[in-house]
Chains A and B, each alone.
Chain A
Amino acid sequence: MTLLRSYEQPAVFLILAAFLLAVGIFGLIRRRTLVGMLISGELIFAAAMLNLMTFNRFTAPDPTTGQIFVLFIMGLAAAEVAVALSIIIAVYRNYRSVKTKELSELTG
């Protein structure tokens, strides 16, 4: 029965947010293409949004604050994706590759 009422406990949301953050960081280290790293970054954004909304729901006296903050995070993430993807396409035009290993001109 506690499993069915688990949406009333902040720990469930916090643990899921920690899981999203950990998976995002794992992907950020392991991925070898720029688009893959961007997707992992989006997972980290999702973890931050879930964390903020959890504290907004369970501890904040004003429930609009967290929602507006998360809305701003979504706007920032959309802007970031637009700029990052245009940079990725520009890089692909110049190098014919988006593998992070081949994007180096300085050797050392």
Chain B
Amino acid sequence: MIPFPASDFIVGGVFLLAVATTAAGALIAALSTRIIRSVAGLALCSIGLAGLFYFLGSPFLALMEILIYVGAVCVTIVFAIMLAEPDEPAPEARSSRTVLWGGLALAVSALIFWSLWRLGAQGHWTPPAARVTDGSVKAIGISLLTTYSMAFELISLLLLVAIMGALVVARSGRAKA
């Protein structure tokens, strides 16, 4: 069987594109001043992450990532922005305090990034001797309803409580306004 011409380059290029999308989306989400651009950065980051999940052997989670994050979480945040207009306030005058806090934030995150980089690059991750299942959607469904059935039921209960709690909390202030 003759492989598709340059398929290695295409697959590698798509992977690098997914990595770049994730990193760029995260940077946009954390650094932009308009909050709506920040949400768009989060959506971009989620799409890149879905591509990475595909490369990690889980098309199911790639689909779920796009459904839940781009389709539900980002849309909900956009609704909250429309209701509350929480734009980032204009940058303050560059006093010594703001510079100190910015430097502290940069130092903390750079330290975490550097140390985790070292840890991840040095570790010898040995592949398992044998795989029990193939990790397909069928295997996921079987173990969701056998081994993890208790956690599955608990998370449905948690989602129900969260929906009702969100309704109650968002309703409570309406009489005063």
Interface residues of A (CB under 8 A from B): 3-7, 10-27, 29-36, 38-40, 42-43, 46, 49-50, 53-65, 67-68, 70-72, 74-83, 85-90, 92-94, 98-99
Query: Interface SS of chain A: helix, strand, loop or mixed?
Result: helix
The residue in chain A whose Cβ has the minimal distance to the Cβ of B108 is: A25
Is A19 within 8 A of B26, CB to CB? Answer: yes
Is B86 within 8 A of A98, CB to CB? Answer: yes
From 34 to 56 in chain B, residues with beta carbon under 8 angstroms from any chain A beta carbon are 35, 38-39, 42, 45-46, 49, 52-53, 55-56
Is B135 within 8 A of A26, CB to CB? Answer: no
Is A78 within 8 A of B143, CB to CB? Answer: no
Distance in angstroms between the alpha carbons of A54 and B58 in the assembled complex: 11
Given A4-B8, A39-B77, A26-B166 contact (CB < 8 Å): no
Is B88 within 8 A of A32, CB to CB? Answer: yes
Residues of A within 8 A of B123 (CB): 11, 14
- Give the shortest distance, in Å, between A16 (CB) and chain B (any CB): 6
Residues of B within 8 A of A70 (CB): 61
Distance in angstroms between the alpha carbons of A61 and B130 in the assembled complex: 6
Interface residues of B (CB under 8 A from A): 8-9, 11-13, 15-16, 19, 22-23, 26-27, 29-31, 35, 38-39, 42, 45-46, 49, 52-53, 55-58, 60-61, 64-65, 68-69, 72-73, 76-77, 79-81, 83-84, 86-89, 101-102, 104-106, 108-110, 112-113, 116-117, 119-121, 123, 125-135, 139-140, 143-144, 148, 151, 155, 158-159, 162-163, 165-167, 169-170, 172-174, 176-177
Is B109 within 8 A of A71, CB to CB? Answer: no
Distance in angstroms between the alpha carbons of A92 and B108 in the assembled complex: 30
- Give the shortest distance, in Å, between B142 (CB) and chain A (any CB): 8
Is B12 within 8 A of A4, CB to CB? Answer: yes
Distance in angstroms between the alpha carbons of A36 and B158 in the assembled complex: 25
Is B56 within 8 A of A33, CB to CB? Answer: no
